[in-house]
Amino acid sequence: MEWVQLKEFVEFATGFSRDSLHVIVGVCLHFGLAAAFKIPLSRWLPWCGVFAFAIANELSDIIVEYWNLPARQFGEAVKDIVLTMFIPTLILLVARYVPRLFY
């Protein structure tokens, strides 16, 4: 099964929109990487892993899909990256600068 097909399967199997899946996967990946490497969420490594995944995913979409309006396609890619990164970025910043909220 190809990456695009796997993403479509997950979308239809869960009933979540693609935008919702970006948010969910971003948060799960952020926590998952922190747990896998046994490092706190205040470190940059889990965040960088999520960012690398988001970039790779969007590059894959750009390569596989062809849109008549490239500006719209790139705008959609940027929106997806922002959706994926928003909560992990918030968690990273709060964990680094206001850690008492996690006690």
Express each pLDDT in 74-102 by its tens digit.
999 999 999 999 999 999 999 999 999 88
Can you tell me the distance from the alpha carbon of 20 to that of 34, in angstroms, rounded to the nearest whole number?
22
pLDDT tens digits for range 40-68: 999 999 999 999 999 999 999 988 888 88
Distance, in Å, from the CA atom of 77 to the CA atom of 71, rounded to the nearest integer, reads 10
Hey, what are 102's tokens? 């996690």
pLDDT at res. 53: 97
Q: What pLDDT is stored for residue 77 in this prediction?
A: 95
Q: Say what angle helices 44-64 and 18-37 make with each other, to 10 degrees.
A: 140
Rounded distance, CA 7 to CA 72, Å?
20
In one-letter notation, the amino acid at residue 47 is W
What the block records as the tokens of 6 is: 């796997």
Res. 13: pLDDT tops 90: yes
**3-state secondary structure at position 50:** helix
What does the pLDDT read at residue 65?
A: 83
* Residue 83, CA distances (Å) to 39, 49, 58, 68 in order: 24, 15, 12, 24
